[in-house]
């Protein structure tokens, strides 16, 4: 089961199940795990100047972290299968 909420004008889905979150991360190559945190990265030249920028796979990328709360993970609705 997942619930929806708005965050910064975007619709976010709350994923409560670890099994569901694992299947979402497995499906999308731009998502990965860092402990219990889900990390989204995408190539961007802005990564060089941004505090959210990282250098990964010989490219500058932007990084967004989805840290779980007691409710679960709030992730953009585009990732919910």
Interval 7-19: pLDDT, tens: 666 788 999 999 9
At 4 the pLDDT is 59
User: What does residue 60 show for φ and ψ, rounded to 5 degrees?
Assistant: -80, 135
List 54's β-bridge partners, or say none. 61
Mean pLDDT over each residue of the chain, to the nearest integer:
90
Do residues 45 and 60 lie in contact, with contact meaning Cβ atoms separated by under 8 Å?
yes
Q: In angstroms, rounded to a whole number, what is the distance separating the alpha carbons of residues 48 and 55? A: 8
Please state the pTM of the whole predicted model: 0.83
* 40-58 residue pLDDT tens: 999 999 999 999 999 988 9
Structure tokens at 67: 């840290």
At 47 the pLDDT is 94
């Amino acid at each position: 089961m997942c619930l929806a909420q708005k965050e910064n004008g975007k619709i976010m889905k709350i994923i409560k199940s670890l099994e569901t979150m694992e299947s979402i991360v497995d499906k999308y190559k731009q998502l990965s795990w860092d402990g219990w945190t889900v990390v989204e990265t995408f190539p961007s030249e802005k990564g060089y100047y941004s505090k959210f920028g990282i250098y990964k796979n010989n490219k500058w990328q932007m990084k967004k972290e989805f840290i779980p709360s007691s409710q679960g993970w709030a992730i953009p609705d585009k990732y919910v299968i």
